[in-house]
């Protein structure tokens, strides 16, 4: 039997959209200057420590090794990039530093990878915070896998910039399943191929995703775990209450829990999914128990161990922040500052939160996403299932606010407020936005899909261009000067960077063409049926869709 031509066209378009999302992340990996992403030196240092058998010291007792210290100096990290939102007169400019020649860049080996151990009875409180690797406040799974990547690829002993690029590309690979999972989720929720393609392209509209997940960060594994959790919750919500699905759901939540505490915010979503699912009550109760047991066995035990041994769920990684206390300015100031910072750093706050997208850009994007998600919940197919799915980013958003309040109330600090903490909920936002657009456009979404991909490519290109300007182009300089500086700092050559950019453009064009062919091949059946709108479990069978 020949495949449905609409399905063939859809799969081709989805494959190209997935390739585009992945390649954009790869381009961010080579665009961002070395270590110019949040906590990237410490992330690399923790991976190196495990690669060289340095173990996982208690929180606050891990130090940055000599190799990473030297790499930070050679990368001119103690400088300000030209696009920084505030100039600091006492900090040198990145554009005034000549790139370290490739031949002079340090090599990591067993002689310099590990820091000297802290003498017994000593602490890190007297040290500069930059000397402390606070990542041991987290579980070690991501770093163990990253260390394995360095060992398997033969890069455990290599130039630091080669290691950095390899680990960045490893994180890009972790993100590769996200568009596929988003598309599969929307097909089960709305039975619409056009909406599935829109969901797959969602992260292209959020430049911060490419920037962060194209860097070395444990958020990459948390994002993958969150996406897999959301997809499996969609399966549960559309009628799949088999125990093997529950076991898989618990396992992926457990992987997230063995990576970072943000994964814990998926647990209420899992419970809600089983509460709202159809099927025998006993089977649903058993599903919750199996999922919970698997999650605890894989990663939940880490946090119980912290509570029993350390007396806290998550210990503080840097004991003293050396910040002077300030007078809190009230609840309204706290909410205004936190919501703005969280929204900006979700959509685009590149570097170490140095390059800020204009306010109008990120607020417009936030309002559009919020309105489309609200439309999906109020009028879309599978409304209850979509509402449950969107609990994931809502819980993460509320969790960030609640976590930030005690420090603010006690010391006047606003800390740990970064949009990347919401990335575990990216699939839910992708699905909500796509279903909302389906409600808004109806059958016209099929014809609009190629234009959505055009817009997605332009949004990605704008974010990359903004990063290129902010990282490399000094006052009064031309783009050619900035490109030469980029090539000078990069482990790739100038021609290699040109090829990387050209490949991304070609795949973008191919994705738009494939989406246009899909739109032509599709029929009027490319809209959600009345049955899908009233019975979300109808999508739980073979996965067929219009």
* Ordered alpha helix ranges (H), 278-421: 281-295, 301-310, 331-347, 350-353, 359-379, 383-411
Q: In this structure, what token pair is assigned to residue 128?
A: 């500069």
Is residue 253 pLDDT above 90, yes or no?
yes
Distance separating alpha carbons of residues 224 and 212, to the nearest angstrom: 13
> Residues of the chain with pLDDT > 90: what percent?
82
- Which of 183-197, 268-282, 481-495, 517-531 comes out lowest in average pLDDT? 517-531
Confidence of residue 124 (pLDDT cuts 50, 70, 90): low
pLDDT at 526: 43
How much of the chain is in helix, strand and coil states, percent to nearest 5?
A: 70, 0, 30
Beta-ladder partners of 350 = 355
- When the pLDDT of each residue in the chain is averaged and rounded to a whole number, the result is 91
Q: How many residues does the chain have?
A: 546
Look at residues 349, 328, 320, 347 and name the one whose alpha carbon lies nearest to residue 404: 328
pLDDT at 400: 92
CA Rg value for the chain: 24
Mean per-residue pLDDT for 66-95? 94
Distance separating alpha carbons of residues 128 and 529, to the nearest angstrom: 62
Look at residues 24, 351, 371 and name the one whose alpha carbon lies nearest to residue 179: 24
Q: How large is the greatest C-alpha to C-alpha distance in the chain, in angstroms? A: 73
> What letter does residue 159 receive in the DSSP assignment?
B
Is residue 321 pLDDT above 90, yes or no?
no
The C-alpha angle with vertex 51 and arms to 45 and 57, in degrees rounded to 5, equals 60
Distance separating alpha carbons of residues 407 and 403, to the nearest angstrom: 8
- Which of 381-390, 438-447, 530-539 comes out lowest in average pLDDT? 530-539
Mean per-residue pLDDT for 229-251? 97
Is residue 546 pLDDT above 60, yes or no?
no
pLDDT at 127: 67
Is residue 285 pLDDT above 80, yes or no?
yes
pLDDT at 123: 59
Side-chain-side CA neighbours of 14 within 13 Å: the count stands at 24
pLDDT at 537: 40
End-to-end Cα, the chain, rounded Å = 19
Q: In this structure, what token pair is assigned to residue 293?
A: 């047991």
Residue-wise pLDDT tens digits, 164-205: 999 999 999 999 999 999 999 999 999 999 999 999 999 999
Distance separating alpha carbons of residues 513 and 497, to the nearest angstrom: 25
**396 close to 421: Cβ distance less than 8 angstroms:** yes
pLDDT at 314: 86
Confidence of residue 324 (pLDDT cuts 50, 70, 90): low
Higher pLDDT, 433 or 532: 433
Residues with Cβ within 8 Å of 56's Cβ and at least 6 positions away in sequence, in order, are 49, 50, 62, 136, 140
Q: Mean pLDDT: which of 39-48, 121-130, 415-424 is highest?
A: 39-48
DSSP string, 417-485: --GGGGGGGHHHHHHHHHHHHHHHHTTHHHHHHHHHHHHHHHHHHHHHHHHHHHHH--TT--HHHHHHH
Confidence of residue 5 (pLDDT cuts 50, 70, 90): confident
Is residue 125 pLDDT above 70, yes or no?
no
- Which of 116-125, 146-155, 415-424, 502-511 comes out lowest in average pLDDT? 116-125
Higher pLDDT, 538 or 426: 426
> Residues of the chain with pLDDT > 70: what percent?
92
pLDDT at 540: 38
Distance separating alpha carbons of residues 173 and 223, to the nearest angstrom: 12
Confidence of residue 355 (pLDDT cuts 50, 70, 90): very high
Confidence of residue 523 (pLDDT cuts 50, 70, 90): low
Residue-wise pLDDT tens digits, 15-71: 999 999 999 999 999 999 999 999 999 999 999 999 999 999 988 889 999 999 999
pLDDT at 29: 98
pLDDT at 443: 92
pLDDT at 322: 53
pLDDT at 524: 39
Confidence of residue 470 (pLDDT cuts 50, 70, 90): very high
Is residue 410 pLDDT above 90, yes or no?
no
Residue with tokens 């490519």: 457
pLDDT at 413: 80
- φ, ψ at 78 (rounded to 5°): -85, 40
């Amino acid at each position: 039997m020949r495949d449905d031509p609409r399905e063939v066209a859809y799969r081709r378009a989805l494959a190209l959209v997935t390739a585009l999302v992945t390649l954009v992340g790869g381009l961010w990996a080579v665009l961002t200057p070395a270590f110019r992403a949040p906590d990237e030196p410490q992330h690399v240092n923790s991976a190196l420590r495990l690669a060289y058998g340095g173990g996982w010291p208690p929180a606050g007792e891990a130090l940055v090794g000599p190799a990473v210290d030297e790499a930070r100096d050679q990368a001119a990290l103690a400088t300000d990039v030209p696009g920084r939102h505030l100039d600091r007169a006492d900090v040198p400019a990145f554009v005034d530093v000549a790139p370290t020649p490739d031949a002079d860049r340090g090599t990591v080996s067993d002689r310099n990878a590990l820091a000297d151990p802290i003498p017994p009875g000593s602490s890190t409180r007297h040290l500069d915070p930059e000397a402390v690797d606070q990542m041991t406040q987290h579980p070690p799974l991501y770093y163990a896998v990253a260390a394995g990547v360095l060992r398997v690829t033969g890069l455990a002993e290599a130039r630091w910039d080669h290691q950095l690029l390899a680990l960045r590309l490893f994180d890009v690979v972790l993100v590769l399943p996200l568009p596929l999972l988003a598309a599969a989720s929307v097909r089960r929720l709305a039975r619409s191929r056009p909406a599935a393609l829109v969901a797959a392209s969602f992260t292209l509209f959020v430049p911060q995703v490419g920037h962060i997940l194209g860097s070395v960060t444990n958020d990459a594994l948390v994002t993958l775990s969150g996406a897999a959790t959301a997809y499996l919750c969609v399966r549960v919500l559309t009628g799949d209450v088999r125990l093997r699905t529950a076991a898989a759901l618990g396992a992926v939540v457990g992987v997230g829990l063995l990576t970072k505490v943000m994964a814990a915010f998926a647990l209420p979503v899992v419970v809600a999914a089983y509460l709202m699912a159809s099927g025998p009550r006993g089977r649903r109760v058993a599903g919750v128990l199996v999922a919970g047991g698997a999650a605890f066995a894989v990663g939940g035990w880490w946090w119980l161990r912290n509570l029993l041994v350390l007396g806290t769920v998550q210990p503080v990684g840097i004991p003293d922040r050396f910040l002077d206390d300030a007078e809190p300015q009230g609840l309204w100031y706290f909410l205004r500052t936190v919501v703005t910072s969280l929204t900006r750093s979700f959509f685009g706050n590149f570097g170490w939160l140095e390059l800020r997208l204009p306010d109008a850009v990120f607020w417009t994007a936030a309002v559009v996403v919020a309105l489309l998600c609200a439309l999906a919940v109020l009028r879309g197919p599978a409304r209850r299932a979509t509402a449950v799915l969107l609990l994931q980013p809502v819980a993460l958003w509320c969790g960030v606010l609640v976590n930030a309040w005690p420090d603010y109330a006690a010391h006047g600090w606003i800390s740990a407020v970064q949009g990347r903490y919401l990335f575990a909920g990216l699939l839910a936002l992708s699905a909500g936005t796509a279903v909302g657009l389906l409600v808004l456009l109806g059958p016209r979404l099929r014809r609009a899909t190629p234009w959505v991909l055009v817009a997605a490519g332009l949004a990605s290109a704008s974010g990359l261009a903004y990063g290129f300007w902010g990282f490399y182009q000094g006052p009064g300089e031309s783009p050619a000067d900035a490109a030469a500086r980029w090539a000078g700092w990069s482990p790739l050559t100038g021609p290699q960077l040109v090829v990387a950019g050209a490949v991304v453009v070609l795949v973008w064009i191919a994705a738009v063409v494939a989406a246009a062919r899909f739109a032509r091949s599709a029929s009027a059946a490319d809209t959600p049926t009345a049955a899908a709108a009233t019975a979300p479990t109808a999508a739980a069978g073979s996965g067929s869709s219009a």
